[in-house]
Structure formats: C-alpha cells, structure tokens
Structure 1
Amino acid sequence: MRSQPVADDPADEACVVVWLPEDDCGDAELSGWIGLATSNHGVKRLGLPARSLKTAAETAFDGHLRAPVWTPMNCRAYWQLRAYLAGKSADLVVPVDLSDTTAFQQAVLTRARAIPPGSTRSYGQLAAAVGRPRAARAVGRVMATNPVPLLVPCHRVVGADGSLVGFGGGLPQKHALLALEQAGIKRVNSSFSAEERGHIEGSK
C-alpha cells in the first residue's frame, strides 16, 4: 500500500490516496489510484480506480492540500475495498457519511446501497423505491454525483432495458465490477490472514 503526501483539508476529515496494483484486483479495469476521505462518521468521498494520481488526489483532498492521514476508519475502508476489488469479499459495510447531500440524494443513495452484489436495478425502479416514480432522471443525476461509488454501488444501476449506461469510471469498468460480482464474490473467510481479517472488520 502506497500513499502520497498530496494533502490539506478540513480538520474533521482524514484523506489518503492509495495505489491498487493489477495483481491485487480481479480485473485490470479495477486497478489504479483510489482517493479516499473519511470523517468520524464514515467515508465522505471515494474515487473509482483511476490511472491518474491527480484525479485520485482531487477526489480525496477536494482542493485542500496537506499530508495524508491514516485513521481506523479509512484503514477499514481501504482493506474492505481491497478485498472487494480482489474478488474475495462483498462486505463493503464500512459506514458512509452523506451529510453533504440533500434529503432526496440521501434517500436515493441509501436505497442504492441496499442493492445486493451482482444484482441490478433500473433508474426507474430506484425512483419508485424512494416514492418518486417519475424521477428517474433525477435519480440518474444523483448517481452521477455519487460521492462514494462502490460503497454506494451506482454501477448496479442500469438503463430501463438493462443496458449499462452512465458511469464515471467508464462502461468497461462498470462491466468489470458487475462481472466480478456475478462471478460469485465470497465473504471474508479463512483465505484471509488473521491480520487481514482484523483490518477488514475494523479491529486492527
């Protein structure tokens, strides 16, 4: 795990940028730099794997540069993401902090987070689920500005006909994420060392 000292941000946030090598991921589309910002309440910002360090840093630090800070919260998030992208675990259960979003956005993001791994829902289905059946386009805008992709799995939201549309990491990455899940992600098990399990479960 490598972090880059590319930081300055609000005092209540801890931000890091990490590199996930291709050997650690279930698909080459899923490797790259990931920017991550957490508060005491959960993950506030998360970037999709990107080849650009600058892109990942912009996500993590949101324009406020200072040294990266590791905390129990972002360590737990990192280990869960690493296990997920390696195809070893579907347990992305680290808390998310949606305090910077509107009530409608929170409702949509919370409902989207409940979509099971390997499953999909259309924008219309998600709109209906939050009591706004005519708001499919508004749901699409919420997905497009999702501050914590993967943790809120906007890659599981598809077009009305099931087609893959509109994903910040590109459609090949969206396809790779769904393929990873549909191949059958296993839950945390004995294939992890005791240290890895401790990090993932937040006890380290």
Structure 2
Amino acid sequence: MRVLRFLGLIAAICFFTGLAGATPIDFHMRVLDPPPPTDPSYPLFLISSTSFDVSFTGCVSGELPGSNTATGCFAGRNISGLDWNNLQLAFPNVGPLVGQAANCDPGVSDDIFSNVDCPASPDNSSFTLIYTDGVIPNGGYFFITEDGVDPPTDFPTGRATVATVPTPEPGSIVLLSTGVLLFGWLLYGERLRASRLS
C-alpha cells in the first residue's frame, strides 16, 4: 500500500511539473516598413547582398512605425542595387525556441509583405519563415521584429535570403529600342512608297 501511495505521489509531482514546463510561448515575427530614420538610436545594418545574418537586439521605444511594439528588433537598409520581392528567414529550433510554434501573421498595418508562411522543418530542427507579396526597394529600410523571446539576444541567429525583382540589362533595352525604331522606320518607308505610287 505504501508503494502505491509513493508511486501516486511521484506521478502527481511529475504531472504538475510537466504541465508547468510544457507551456510554450509562441514567438511572433513581422517585417515592418519604417520611415527613413533621421538619427537612429538602434543598430542599422546596411545590406548589400541577397543573403545576410539576422540577430536581434532590444527594440527602442518609439522607433517602430505606427503603434507597433516588439521585444527584439533587427533594422536594415537594402543597398544591394536590387528590389527584393520576397524574404525568407531560417532559424534553428534551439534554446528558447524549442517547444514553441512560429506565428508570422502580418499585422493590420506597416507590414511590407502581405503573404506569409512559417512552417517548422519536417524534423522540427528549424523554422523557415517566408514573406511574399511585397517589395523592399533598393535604398529602402525595414525592421524584422520578434515577440516571445526575452531577452531578444537569446533568440538564435538566423539567416535571411531575399529574391530580387529582375530588371532588364541595359544591353537588352538598347537592342529592343533599336529593333522598335528600325521596324517603325521600315513601316514609315513602306507608307511613303505606297503614297508615291498612288
């Protein structure tokens, strides 16, 4: 009988401590469109490539656009010479992210991208957050924000990859323009000859 009571007590302790440790705090991530900063008090990263590391620092009160708030912020400026039409963020599922679910739904305003998807990998070892239907123009500023991991410096460093909006090469534009002008000149010559014959 004592053994059963002892086992019951151990089971109750395991049950309640398991409940206390199993409450995940989902993290929420957004990509915001801030106005150009005049004198930022936060680190601003100049991004010149289509792939870069993302690590969070504490957000500075009043620096986010509108009435947005967040725990962690990454501020950047696209100086790659290209417009970015989607952003993919990959974070390892380690440390404070273990047991959490990602939430990357856009807010009601100030979000750059309107279509988001944030699945965990099949083996649950990483999160891939995909933002589409928006543009970060060349020279444009952006914030990547997170809520759910405090302090934000505990959030694991991730990797961002962007897709660019293709722009025609200058040689292609010159070739196309020359072809259109030549076609117009030939068409004009045909009309001129036809009017002389009549």
Q: How would you bin the TM-score normalised by the shorter chain?
A: under 0.3
* TM-score normalised by length of structure 2: 0.22
Q: TM-score, normalised by structure 1?
A: 0.22
Determine which structure has the larger strand proportion and give its number.
Answer: 2
Task: Kindly name which structure, 1 or 2, has the bigger radius of gyration based on alpha carbons.
Answer: 2
Q: Which has the higher contact order (CA 8 A, sep 6+)?
A: 2
